[in-house]
A and B are shown apart, each in its own frame.
Chain A
Amino acid sequence: MSFIQKFAVRNVGRNKRRSLLAVISVTLSILLIVFLQGLIGGFLDNLVHNYTKNETGHVRIATKEFEEKAKFFPVTDNIKNPQKIIDVIIQDKEINRNIKSISQRITFGVLLTNEGNNKQALAYAGDIEIEKNLLMLNESILPDGRYLEANDEAIVGKLLADDLGYKLDDEISVMTQGSDYALHLKKFTIVGLFDTGLRIYDERIFQIPLSSAQELLRMPDQVQQIVIMLDNYHDSESVAKKMAAKLSDYEVVVSPWTAIGGYAMWVEMANQIYNWFYIVIAFLGAFIIANIMMMVVLERRREIGIIKSMGFTNGQVLSMFVSEGMLLGFVGSVVGALVGLGIVTLLHFHGIDFSKMMGGINFPMSNIIYLRVNFMSLFIAILLGTLVSTFVSFFPSRRAEKMKIVDSIKSV
């Protein structure tokens, strides 16, 4: 059949305008589909990131006792050698490859008092720099104040401060039960007030540096949780398993976010729904491709008549058209996929920043979507484009081939 294919190739080359038009359509459609896939992946990543960054991370390391009572934020069963554990993890190249950030944290309940006014609150303590990307409370700080810079400083939710009558630069007394089961007190200076717009944060929470918490709770060099964010949340379970294997001697449990809390369910739902959207849109893309291919073929009915009068059999005509379709489809799909890949990769590293579009809502959530590169879906897109083009070239050419030569030459 190779001379048929040579013909097909020559035909394609011969009518540049037509071929170009067809290829461009396919390219654009496939490009948009690949971009969409990257966008959906990035959006889901963003969703999971926002759900997990404050509590569990993608993977959380803590003691068994902590995980059992996590709801009550116990500080009595801590990780005694967090740095050692982190070293073990980082040194394993395979695990380290997946890691985006590691954060040591203590979250604990306290009693705040101001002139006989008591209020229960929740303290979040972590590394000041790392928490800029996780808790992100630095982004919601009201203009007069600033983010944490040193020990013994605190940033407090606006509603919490109002409730207790705290102002900027006040010294607040934080009372809590330490890891030694004794009551302890520590004073902090309010360097900033934050307004996230989320009641649960603004009226309950304040953030302090990790070292200050360790002092207050009498847990020197200990932490309550090690919270790890990965590059790809899908790896959470496998990475958690690998970490657990490496840490088997350390009396800690390693949990992926899917094992803690109910959010895995939400994400699974969102995942499924967006997949359906993708399928519909891919269908649209396929439809467009089909449409173009059909026009290409129908345009050439006269040509079919001429060729057949030259002696080509029906089967040969059919296979010629199908080959042309397949070629156009393949080239268009590959180009579209590659360009799409390029854009997605670029945006994977750079990200699309939604913050301005959010219109002044300053939730402590990440608003940047980093598109996700997925080679599997790339492959599927190319396959889709090629198959649809091939398939669609089949039908009209089939019909045309059946026409009587005379009629086809007559058609315009």
Chain B
Amino acid sequence: MRKILLFIAIVSVFTILHAQGINFTGLEILERIDDNEFYQTIEYNGSMTIYIDDQIRTKELYTLAKSDGRKALVEFTNPEDYGTKYLMLEDELWIYFPSEEEVVKISGHMLKEGMMGSDFSYEDALESDKISEKYNVEITDQDTLNSHLCWVITLNAKVKDVPYYSKKMWIDKVTFTVWKEKMYAKSGKLLKEMNVLEVKQYGGRYFPVKSEMVNKLRKNSKTEFVMKDISFDVDLPDGIFSLRNLQH
């Protein structure tokens, strides 16, 4: 579940600007990404595939999300989880179980521990504060990734309470797509790597429709996320993101 939110967050934080040949500082690039409300709302069908060793598990989901108030409603459509729903409002999470018609609230500290033994936590999904407030940003390199010309931006933590002490991002100079992001620990050890595998254009946006998150602390451990049937800025009234609707 957290993985979905992760990608929702990535999607809501990173944007696509159509800008060419402009000299940006790292901070400016990110500020563009920061400030830009990428979407008001989004609706899509997604699938998340978890790879651990030779096990492959796939979850299918239908998502509605609204950036105002960081709301999201996710419904699982794969057979094992069918009908299970997640409601996310700001920092809070509720889960609805169809078999018992019961809603359960998950408290914050529980989420940090990785309830199912996964090492993705809820926080991965929600970097609520602005990047610029927590990190020093610098363009450190230029690189070509899969024939895309990218800035390589390095972020180093300014404060102690950041999820990752440093990050490196490969940002497409043309589309401002984040093609790759590497997350590092305080020790400098690489913890995770996010790669965007496929991007689609929707009107003026370049949207990452297929990405993967790789756990760098353990072999053969990664998660793939695919989005399809995407609609942006559909009208989604707040009532959809309510407990009442969840139980319905």
Contact = CB atoms under 8 A, between A and B. Distances in A.
Does A pair with B?
Answer: yes
Interface of A: 72, 111, 113, 115-118, 173, 175, 177-178, 180-187, 218
Given A178-B80, A186-B100, 6 more contacts: A115-B105, A118-B106, A175-B104, A181-B80, A182-B80, A183-B97
B56 to A, nearest CB: 10
Contacts, number: 50
A116 B99 contact: no
Nearest to A119: B110
A182 B84 contact: yes
Given A72-B117, A178-B80, A183-B81, A116 B107 contact: yes
A177 B116 contact: yes
A177 B118 CA distance: 12
A181 B84 CA distance: 13
Interface in B94-115: 95, 97, 99-100, 102, 104-107, 110, 115
A173 B100 contact: yes
Contacts of B117: 72
A113 B106 contact: yes
A117 B81 CA distance: 24
Contacts of A72: 117
27 contacts: A111-B115, A113-B104, A113-B105, A113-B106, A115-B105, A118-B110, A173-B104, A175-B97, A175-B104, A177-B116, A178-B80, A180-B80, A181-B50, A182-B59, A182-B78, A182-B81, A183-B1, A183-B81, A183-B95, A183-B97, A183-B116, A184-B97, A185-B95, A185-B97, A185-B99, A187-B100, A187-B102
A384 B13 CA distance: 87
Nearest to A218: B80
B84 A183 contact: yes
A72 B116 CA distance: 11
Given A72-B117, A111-B115, A116-B105, A185 B100 contact: yes
Nearest to B116: A177
B57 interface: yes
A111 B107 CA distance: 11
Given A72-B117, A118-B110, A185 B80 contact: no
B67 to A, nearest CB: 25
Interface string B65-97: 000000000001010110010000000000101
Contacts of A183: 1, 81, 84, 95, 97, 116
A185 B104 CA distance: 9
Interface string B1-31: 1000000000000000000000000000000
B150 to A, nearest CB: 36
